[in-house]
Structure 1
Amino acid sequence: MTPECDPGFDPASAADAATTAILADLEESGHRAVVVDSPPGAGKSTLVVRAAGDLVGGGERPIIVAQTNNQVDDLVIRLATAHPDLMIGRLSASTYTAPPAVAALANTTVATRVADLAGCRIVVGTSAKWATVRHATFGWAILDESYQMRSDMLLQIVERFDRGLFVGDPGQLDPFAIVGTERWVGLPHDPTQNGVTVMLEHNPDTPVHRLPVSWRLPATAAATVSTAFYPFTGFTAGTGREARSLEFRTRAFGGSTLDETLAMAFTTGWALHQLPRRHVPRTDAETIQTAANLAARLLDRGAVATCERHRDGRVLEPGDIAIGVAHRDQADLVRLALARTGRPGASGVAVDTANRLQGREFEIVIIVHPLSGRRDATAFHLETGRLCVLTSRHRQACIVVAREGISDLLDSHPSTDAVHLSVPAKFPDGWEANQVMMATFERHRVLG
């Protein structure tokens, strides 16, 4: 019986039990490291903030390592808010300018040297910045989004701490490299592997915990995303099917296919706006304009979202909506397409690639399917992490814009990637994960 079908299953209790076990292992002196695998929206940041506070309470002065400046800033804000009695240090590069939300924090100090943060009980910085620190050492490090950290970066900072808490999402995008990586494939010192995988290979007795509940994904999406991208470590939604809903303030004026797609998404949590079959470049103007038009139409009609945070409903703003794509040139064209809609405020819709949307959360996400209009299914476009990111950013609904033919493309293009010795097969397989997601999308299809 799945958790959703078990009337006695309590998501909050399950999440609390997992967190309690994790914090207990932090107190166990025999563990040099603790790993926490987390599905999308399971509360990684909440766990990091709580663990940091517990470590300080136990007399430690932990450091926190994140992968981007945005992640660091978000953590600094959350730490400073959750622990107003603690001084938080923000370790930064000389070119860094603190955003207003960080600069306004009374219990936060920003500095370029660890020595200037001596009075801070928690110090937060990017992995790239920590790699420049040569002499300071700490008892504990919390490594956030650790599956997105390359192992060569971990090697550069591992001497800065004695014990580490590795928190991350194993289902999302692998670390990014701009150079060819073929020379290292299969070697034990492959620097392009993620830090968690390499650490576990050398420390197989490290305890691994899994957060069992996604508080972001709605009940309509959690089972599908879990089956497609987390087949061995499934999770459940933290809210029931009746907890969230979407409606319009205005009636449909015209009854276009855009309205039909939005109605499908608002009713079921998913929608596939399917355009006619055609082989097109990735900058296909019709597909890109359709994604922009859906966002503009959603704003025109005044979508109202009801959830556990806003029980009386809240009108969605442009910043509550994201349009996700696979390539940066597509993102640029979507922004231009939004401007062409003439909808005031449309420029506030978040538009970016999966790599840059990773870790972010929105009420409604519109995605241009990576395989839309393609003649072939390359490893890049079949990457499970890319589709996982795109389909797991939403709290209410996900709308997919794609040309007909993706299922046929998957059936006729099995994987042709080279097989390398000493390289474990990656699961879930990109071909299979895409098939699972397409089966869901096609049940919610609207012909455009």
Structure 2
Amino acid sequence: MTAISPAEEAATVIAAVLGDLRSGRHRGVVVDSPPGAGKSTLVVRAAGELAATGAPLMIVAQTNEQVDDLIERLGTRSPEVTVGRLSAVDYERTDRVKDHPNCRVAAKVPDLAAPAITIGTAAKWATVAEGSWPWAIVDEAYQMRSDALLRVAPRFERALFVGDPGQLDPFSTVEVERWTGLSWDPMQSAVAVLLRHNPELPVHRLPVSWRLPASAAPVVAEAFYPFTGFRSGTGPGDRTLRFERAAETSLDQVLDTAAATGWGLHELPARFTVRTDAEAAAACAQLAARALARGGVAESEAGTGALTPARIAVGAAHRDQAAAIRALLPPEAAGITVDTANRLQGREYDLTVVLHPLSGRRDATAFHLESGRLCVLTSRHRHACVVVARAGIPELLDAHPSTEPVHLNVPVKFPDGWEANQSMLAHLYRP
């Protein structure tokens, strides 16, 4: 029996998604996606096909960055399709929006001159009180709170929901226990509430990650997607990362291990530290700077290119940690992205350096144990990921087993953060 290629497997699922859209049998279609499976590509393709029918379409994204990214992609794939960018009054066009040949920007829907596609953030769409569209596409739907969906739902008749169920859930800075257990709990994701009230809606799962290499896909799938899984679009040896200059330090050896196997662990001595651990921050900055200084070269199906600052990222759990790492980068490495998991979500790099959320901690809080946070941090790379952590995390996890209360009428999310961390650490410690 001939094995199905990743491209064929992905094409079969995408054809089924588009078939459900065209049929009009369902008021909603849900597409679950692992990291780097082509969510944006699917959104742009579906938008182009729906717009080609002549029916106006609205697209709901979660951030302005996502909106501008989709506009750029729409301009590349379907430049003839008119696009309206719904934005705040003080919004300044980015180059990506300016480069779209048929994009108009306005703060109100009537000022957009009835484009084929109207796109804006969920927050902006919530201010629209009039008008309706036959179709909507909700991008990154698992980042969207259910109350945000409730506010925009009157604007469309049918919708395609696309998102990654393994990454960061919606969050709030206020106490939300009063809604726990309610089927319309606003802190659930838009997709979770949608499916609880409409269990008959079709759910498709994209089966291939085109970002994660063959060394990462099974590790990430086992840790964060144990019941659905996915495969890499590339095989062993299809991508290589090498450094032109020989290793000189222990940090260089960690980078060489990551280049050879896809994963590296730089373990610091066990110690309880303040949240902004100066030694760990310095190690992250030095690893990123050394990767740049050693003349990294990345080879893949996309071609061969130098490992530039734009292709390296450092991720952390907190903004103060990111700020400390950023301040320690040498001037020649200033272009390296350093940010939190929340802001790195949806982005892609050749090499990532990750400060483990539990490094140096005395306890394992729900924030630091959240599986989605670690999933985002360890799934941004096309070639290799290096994790920086103090020794003792497995012992910390054993001393703080998952103790989150189990609430009635609340679906249990798998895997929990404890299990996901154990799975990821088991791989990193593997000889």
Q: TM-score, normalised by structure 2?
A: 0.98
2:288 equivalent in structure 1 = 295
| Cα distance between partner residues in 2 of 1:241 and 1:124 | 39
Aligned pair 1:377/2:368, yes or no? no
Query: Does the 8 Å contact 1:247/1:304 carry over to 2?
Result: yes
Count of aligned residue pairs for this structure pair: 431
Deviations 1:35-64 (A, max 9, x none): 000000000000000001111122221111
Amino acid at match of 2:69: D
Mapping 1:368-407, distance limit 5 Å: 368-407=355-394
Mapping 1:294-313, distance limit 5 Å: 294-310=287-303, 313=304
Query: Does the 8 Å contact 2:39/2:162 carry over to 1?
Result: yes
CA shift, 1:188, in A, is 2.2
Aligned pair 1:164/2:159, yes or no? yes
Deviations 1:145-195 (A, max 9, x none): 000000000000000000000000000000121111111111223111110
CA shift, 1:419, in A, is 2.2
* Secondary structure, aligned partner of 1:414: coil
Mapping 1:3-402, distance limit 5 Å: 8-252=3-247, 255-310=248-303, 313-338=304-329, 342-344=330-332, 346-402=333-389
Query: Does the 8 Å contact 1:130/1:157 carry over to 2?
Result: yes
Greater CA drift, 181-190 or 276-285: 181-190
| Cα distance between partner residues in 1 of 2:381 and 2:38 | 14
Deviations 1:227-253 (A, max 9, x none): 11011111000001111001112223x
Amino acid at match of 2:4: F
Query: Does the 8 Å contact 2:71/2:96 carry over to 1?
Result: no
* Secondary structure, aligned partner of 1:352: strand
CA shift, 1:101, in A, is 2.4
| Cα distance between partner residues in 2 of 1:371 and 1:334 | 17
* Secondary structure, aligned partner of 1:348: coil
CA shift, 1:343, in A, is 4.5
| Cα distance between partner residues in 1 of 2:13 and 2:386 | 32
| Cα distance between partner residues in 1 of 2:34 and 2:221 | 8
Query: Does the 8 Å contact 1:91/1:124 carry over to 2?
Result: yes
Query: Does the 8 Å contact 1:296/1:343 carry over to 2?
Result: no
CA RMSD of aligned residues (A): 1.1
Query: Does the 8 Å contact 1:265/1:397 carry over to 2?
Result: yes
Amino acid at match of 1:51: A
| Cα distance between partner residues in 2 of 1:118 and 1:95 | 20
Query: Does the 8 Å contact 1:41/1:217 carry over to 2?
Result: yes
Query: Does the 8 Å contact 2:72/2:99 carry over to 1?
Result: no
Deviations 1:369-417 (A, max 9, x none): 0000111111111100000000000000000000000111111210122
1:3 equivalent in structure 2 = none
Amino acid at match of 1:273: H
| Cα distance between partner residues in 2 of 1:68 and 1:13 | 32
| Cα distance between partner residues in 1 of 2:182 and 2:241 | 50
CA shift, 1:7, in A, is 6.8
Q: TM-score, normalised by structure 1?
A: 0.95
Query: Does the 8 Å contact 1:80/1:87 carry over to 2?
Result: no
Q: Displaced runs of 4+ in structure 1, greater than 3 A? A: none
| Cα distance between partner residues in 2 of 1:332 and 1:417 | 31
Runs of 5+ consecutive residues of structure 2 not aligned to the other structure: none
Query: Does the 8 Å contact 1:149/1:175 carry over to 2?
Result: yes
Amino acid at match of 2:92: T
* Secondary structure, aligned partner of 1:423: coil
